[in-house]
Amino acid sequence: MYPPSPIRRGNEGEVYTKMLKDKTIGWIGAGVMGHAMLQHLIKEGYRVLVYNRTRSKTDDLVALWASYIDSIAELSAGSDVIFTIIGDPQNVRETYLWSKGIIENAKPGSILVDMTTTQPSLAAEIFEAAEAKDILSLDAPVSGWDVWAIAGTLSIMVWWEQATYDAILPLFELMWKSIVYCGEAGYGQHTKMANQIGIAGNTIALCEALVYAEKMNLDLEKTITVVSGWAAGSWGWNNLAPRIINNDLDTCFFIKHFVKDMRIALDECNKRNITLPWLALVHQLYTSLMAAGDGNLWTQALIKAIRKLNNI
């Protein structure tokens, strides 16, 4: 369900955009995804303050007229809207909740948008801490590749209050093509977990099918053509399978990041007595790849683990 969008209600969207152009945007996290997403705001003419643990990763952003800020506290105090897309739940907790973090130093009335994939319970905790300081907070994890971030066509799973959403929709529109309301605080993260669980299952099924085809000496290109057009077809068959048979394991999503996401999902399952055997298996296989030094390969590299089990 999509809420009413001010961009599609007369000239109200233009009013919000003009209001935002007078605001300062803070951005924390200039990794692969964050770096690409932030460029859309800078190029649209917004005033942007940026912080990243490795300053050199922001050099080209500064060249595009972003201003580098040396501390999270200073950035928070000087921003009206603050986006974060950072590492893992511990990084998120420290960035938002420690004494030199965002909530302690942000101005009342600020809007916080965490796009990191993190624990749903942590997202709810951040919301409550922000609300106590008269600060608005959204959990808004994103889905997509870096090329989608560059194109501004990512998907977002977001919890919001309507007024907060309306106020910053012009910023969302620059970075995302699909914005879906998922429920109360933390539900954006729960929806992202469902997405990651689905990816885990799809990827192992794809890799097992290709290993079977290899063992049977099938023409792999023809197999992909056939299967992708039938009931087992999926986004993975169209996008990952061709990369796998060409040994292209460096384009998609880092294994080390996916393992973090699956660990969060498994922790949520443990809290609620949910048993997902396939997720546990895929997590184990990816963890073995990380132990072998393959954490910086991408998710389709799961084929290496399945091939190893079959002596290929």
Q: Domain residues for 17?
A: 6-185
Distance CA 78, CA 134 (A): 16
Instruction: Identify whether residues 40 and 148 lie together within a single domain.
Output: yes
Among residues 168, 185, 202, the one where a domain terminates is: 185
pLDDT in tens, 39-83: 889 888 899 999 999 999 999 999 998 999 999 999 999 999 999
Averaged confidence pLDDT in the chain? 87
Are residue 235 and residue 145 in the same domain, yes or no?
no
Same domain, 50 and 136: yes
**Residues 6+ positions from 275 with CB-CB distance below 8 Å:** 269
Q: Which residues pair with 158 in a beta bridge?
A: 181
Quick one: average pLDDT of 158-172? 73
Q: Are 50 and 68 in contact (CB under 8 A)?
A: yes
Q: What pLDDT does residue 2 have?
A: 25
Helix (H) or strand (E) holding 50: strand 47-51
Domain total of the chain:
2
Give the pLDDT confidence of 168-177 residue by residue, as tens digits: 778 888 887 7
Catalytic entry in 57, 107, 192, 271: 192
pTM of the predicted model, to two decimals? 0.81
Q: Are residues 164 and 91 both part of a single domain?
A: yes
One domain, residues 270 and 206 = yes
- 192 catalytically annotated: yes
Query: Based on the domain organization, do 76 and 176 belong to the same domain?
Result: yes
Residue 148 has pLDDT above 70, yes or no: no
Same domain, 29 and 149: yes
What percent of the chain has a predicted confidence (pLDDT) above 70?
85
